[in-house]
């Protein structure tokens, strides 16, 4: 395709929650870049989340990253100069029920992209990962930094860790310029209601109970999706080749406490909580040390949890 854009960025999984928020921001922010949104449009994706569909520097291509012919066609037509790789199966419960699809998409799909990036001289391959690759922390352990070992406990996190190892190998063996970001739990408008915050908000607003695993004592760190997008952009532009950056929100909360905040925001009480059998292999706690990203990328999250939750509840109140 003939154009005068500075970069042609292939964004995989761009119709998903984080990918669509990234595109809605980046397409407007960088009119000098051309963005290709590649998405298989599985159950968790929705093109209605894309607010920039009519932008001149954006195009959508329906394709599956497991399909090498479809990927080759994209390279022949658009010649991407960079890749920002969101596409992944990401729901832990689904990975427990159907592990194979997570290996096929998250591992083999990533390898397909890496090979095309390597053989076509892609300038930067940015892989979006997760804090879950580190495994579980004890309550009193310090937050995890980027040098910690990968100890994944679910088929989902194992597939993301495997994908990361492939990304590293293409950097070390073939010299592909890669950067990896590992984020904590994202939340915000347009998230698929399989995830805790949108599921609980939707249930509470419609008068239903919320299913809380175990005793609700598991701890997660929450980041508003807009802050994650800014971190991704900072790592893409400023991150050192071959490096990994943690992007956490700095909002560690027990699941019972995040539930209570949502009860307050939706006008429900604790009778709406239904404790359910705990998830298999349920990690106790995730927490990220993000000093490297703050130091090297000049990135820090801006939105407080209270503000982000209010905004998210307001969105679902208008869409429930």
Over residues 258-278, the pLDDT tens digits come to 999 999 999 999 999 999 987
CA-to-CA distance for 145 and 281, rounded, in angstroms?
Answer: 22
Share of the chain above pLDDT 90, in %: 88
**What is the DSSP secondary-structure string of 98-138?**
-HHHHIIIIIIHHHHHHHHHHHTT-SEEEEEEEGGGG----
Q: Which tops the pLDDT comparison, 96 or 290?
A: 290
With a cut of 80, say whether residue 14 has pLDDT above it.
yes
Report the run of H or E that residue 292 belongs to, with start and end.
helix 291-296
| Candidates 82, 131, 164, 227; catalytic one | 131
With a cut of 50, say whether residue 16 has pLDDT above it.
yes
Give residue-wise pLDDT tens across range 114-170: 999 999 999 999 999 999 999 999 999 999 999 999 999 999 999 999 999 999 999
| Candidates 156, 170, 286, 316; catalytic one | 156
Among candidate residues 298, 187, 164, the one with its CA nearest the CA of residue 244: 164
Question: Which residues, in sequence order, are CB contacts of 286 under 8 Å at separation 6+?
Answer: 131, 132, 134, 136, 137, 144, 184, 185, 219, 220, 221
CA-to-CA distance for 109 and 173, rounded, in angstroms?
Answer: 19
Residue 261 in domain? no
Cα angle vertex 106, ends 255, 227, to 5°? 50
CA-to-CA distance for 40 and 130, rounded, in angstroms?
Answer: 21
Q: What pLDDT does residue 35 have?
A: 98
Least confident of 104-113, 170-179, 279-288, 297-306: 279-288
**Banded model confidence at residue 287, pLDDT cuts 50, 70, 90:** very high
Q: Give the number of domains in the chain.
A: 1
**Banded model confidence at residue 320, pLDDT cuts 50, 70, 90:** low
Residue 278 in domain? no
- In this prediction, residues 71-75 reach a mean pLDDT of 98
Residue 195 in domain? no
**Banded model confidence at residue 299, pLDDT cuts 50, 70, 90:** very high
With a cut of 70, say whether residue 86 has pLDDT above it.
yes
Residue 239 in domain? yes
Distances from the Cα of 7 to the Cα of 4, 31, 34, 64, 124, angstroms: 9, 10, 6, 23, 10
Q: What pLDDT does residue 2 have?
A: 53
| Average pLDDT in the chain | 95
Residue 274 in domain? no
Q: What pLDDT does residue 1 have?
A: 47
| Candidates 64, 132, 226, 227; catalytic one | 132
Q: Which tops the pLDDT comparison, 281 or 14?
A: 14
Q: Is 64 an annotated catalytic residue?
A: no
**Which of the 8 DSSP states describes residue 149?**
P
Q: Is 132 an annotated catalytic residue?
A: yes
Give residue-wise pLDDT tens across range 231-265: 999 999 999 999 999 999 999 999 999 999 999 99
Q: What pLDDT does residue 109 have?
A: 97
Q: Is 131 an annotated catalytic residue?
A: yes
Ramachandran sector of residue 41 (left: φ over 0; alpha: ψ -120 to 50; beta: rest) = left
Domain that holds residue 60: 7-187+223-250+284-302
Residue 175 in domain? yes
Residue 46 in domain? yes
**Which of the 8 DSSP states describes residue 63?**
-
**Cα Rg, the chain, nearest whole Å:** 19
User: In what order do the strands lie in the sheet containing 243-247?
Assistant: 58-62, 33-39, 7-12, 82-85, 124-130, 178-183, 243-247
With a cut of 60, say whether residue 101 has pLDDT above it.
yes
Share of the chain above pLDDT 70, in %: 99
Domain at 99, CATH number? 3.40.50.720
Residue 160 in domain? yes
Environment class of 138 (CB within 10 Å of its CB; exposed 0-12, middle 13-18, buried 19+): exposed
Number of residues in the chain: 320
CA-to-CA distance for 34 and 27, rounded, in angstroms?
Answer: 8
């Amino acid at each position: 395709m003939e154009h005068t854009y500075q970069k042609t960025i292939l964004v995989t999984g761009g119709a998903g929650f984080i990918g669509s928020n990234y595109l809605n921001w980046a397409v407007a922010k960088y009119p000098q870049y051309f963005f290709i949104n590649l998405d298989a449009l599985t159950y968790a994706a929705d093109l209605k989340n894309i607010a920039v569909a009519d932008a001149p520097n954006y195009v959508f291509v329906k394709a599956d990253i497991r399909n090498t012919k479809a990927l080759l066609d994209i390279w022949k037509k658009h010649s991407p100069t960079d890749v920002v790789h969101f596409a992944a199966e990401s729901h832990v419960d689904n990975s427990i029920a159907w592990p194979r699809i997570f290996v096929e998409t998250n591992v083999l799909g990533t390898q397909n992209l890496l090979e095309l990036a390597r053989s076509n001289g892609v300038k930067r391959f940015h892989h979006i990962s997760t804090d879950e690759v580190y495994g579980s922390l004890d309550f009193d352990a310090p937050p995890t930094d980027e040098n910690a070992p990968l100890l994944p406990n679910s088929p989902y996190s194992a597939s993301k860790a495997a994908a990361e190892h492939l990304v590293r190998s293409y950097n070390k063996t073939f010299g592909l310029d890669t950067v990896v970001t590992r984020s904590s739990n994202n939340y915000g408008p347009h998230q698929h209601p399989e995830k805790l915050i949108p599921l609980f908000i939707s249930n509470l607003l419609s008068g239903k109970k919320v299913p809380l695993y175990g005793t609700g004592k598991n701890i997660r760190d929450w980041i508003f999706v807009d802050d994650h997008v800014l971190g991704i952009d900072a790592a893409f532009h400023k991150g050192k080749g071959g490096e990994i950056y943690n992007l956490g929100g700095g909002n560690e909360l027990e699941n019972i406490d995040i539930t209570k905040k949502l009860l307050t925001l939706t006008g429900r009480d604790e009778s709406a909580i239904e404790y359910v059998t705990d998830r298999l292999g349920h990690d106790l706690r995730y927490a990220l040390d993000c000093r490297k990203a703050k130091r090297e990328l000049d990135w820090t999250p801006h939105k407080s949890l209270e503000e982000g939750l209010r905004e998210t509840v307001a969105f679902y109140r208008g869409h429930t």
